[in-house]
Amino acid sequence: MGNSVRWFADQLAAVLMVSRCAACKGVVLHARRLPICSACLEKFPSLNEPLCQRCGRPLATPAGRLPQCFACRRGAYAFDRARSCAPYLEPAVTMIELLKRHPIRPLAAWLTGHMQGVLQQVPEFGAVDALVPVPLDRRRRKKRGFNQAELLARALGRRMRIPVRADVLVRVRPRPDELLLSRRQRWDSTRGAFAVPEGVRVDKMRILLLDDVLTTGATLDACARALKQAGAGAVYALTVARTVPTETG
C-alpha cells in the first residue's frame, strides 16, 4: 500500500471512529486495530547491552568483565537462557495489561514482532523444537477465557514457523490471590507449581518458554525445572518485558 493510500485510510478511520490511546489518552490516528497511538508505539522501550549472558538482566559493568549477574553466578535459575524485549516501563506496561484483560490479537502480533527480533539475535532460540506458553491455573484461565502467553506464543509461532505446544505444561498449584508478592513469596508460590502431564513426552526437546513479563524469574525457573525433570534437553525463555531493579550489577 502506497504512502498516500495509507495516509487516506488512517484519516478515514480517524473520522469514522475516533478512539483514544490506552497509554497516553491521545487520539489514535492509524488503522491498524491497535489501541495504542503511533507516538506511543514508537516509544516502545528496549533493553540495551550489557546484559547478563544467562538471564538477560541489564548489568552495570561491561559483560566481558562480569558476563553474568549475581543470581546467575549462584546458579539460581534452571532455564538455560532468557531474554526480554523491553524493560517493564510505559508504554510496554499498558500494552501487557491490555493483553491480560482482552485477547487483542493485533496487539499480540505487534508485540511478537519485537520478540522475533530478539529471537533472531540468539542462535539457540531459533533452533528450538517447540514454543511453550507459561500456563495459567484452571481457575484463572476460566475467568479470563484465554491465556495471554498462549496468544503471544501462537502469534510468534506463525511468524517463525515453530510448533506451539500448549499441552506439555500445566499449573498444578494456583497462583496466590495477592496482587503484590515479595520476592520470597513469589519463589515460594511457584515452587512445584508446574508439571508435565502424564503421558506427554518432552524427552530431549529444546523448548522456548513464552510469557509476558519476567519479574523475579521464579515462574520461568519453576517451568524449566518441571520440563527438565520430565527429560527436556534445553529450556530457554523469552518475554515481552522484564522488571529492571535499580541495582543492575
Domain boundaries, the chain: 1-40, 44-242
**CB of 83 within 8 A of CB of 77?**
no
pLDDT confidence of 67, banded at 50, 70, 90?
confident
Q: Is this prediction's pTM over 0.85? A: yes
C-alpha to C-alpha distance for 58 and 61, rounded to whole angstroms: 9
The tens digit of pLDDT for each residue in 68-85 reads 998 999 999 999 999 999
Q: What are the start-end ranges of the H helices in 161-209? A: 183-190
C-alpha to C-alpha distance for 40 and 236, rounded to whole angstroms: 30
In the predicted model, is pLDDT for residue 187 greater than 90?
no
C-alpha to C-alpha distance for 83 and 55, rounded to whole angstroms: 6
All three cell numbers of 48:
540495551
Which among 150, 153, 156 has a CA at the least distance from the CA of 135? 150
Q: Which helix (H) or strand (E) holds 214?
A: strand 206-214
Span 217-237, average pLDDT = 97
**CB of 148 within 8 A of CB of 212?**
yes
**CB of 231 within 8 A of CB of 202?**
yes
**CB of 50 within 8 A of CB of 39?**
no
Please enumerate in sequence order all residues whose Cβ is within 8 A of that of 98, keeping only pairs 6 or more positions apart, or say none: 22, 35, 104, 107
C-alpha to C-alpha distance for 142 and 221, rounded to whole angstroms: 24
C-alpha to C-alpha distance for 73 and 92, rounded to whole angstroms: 29
pLDDT for the residue numbered 191: 86
pLDDT confidence of 179, banded at 50, 70, 90?
low
Please enumerate in sequence order all residues whose Cβ is within 8 A of that of 4, keeping only pairs 6 or more positions apart, or say none: none
- Of residues 241 and 249, more confidently modeled: 241
* CATH level 3 topology of 44-242: Rossmann fold (3.40.50)
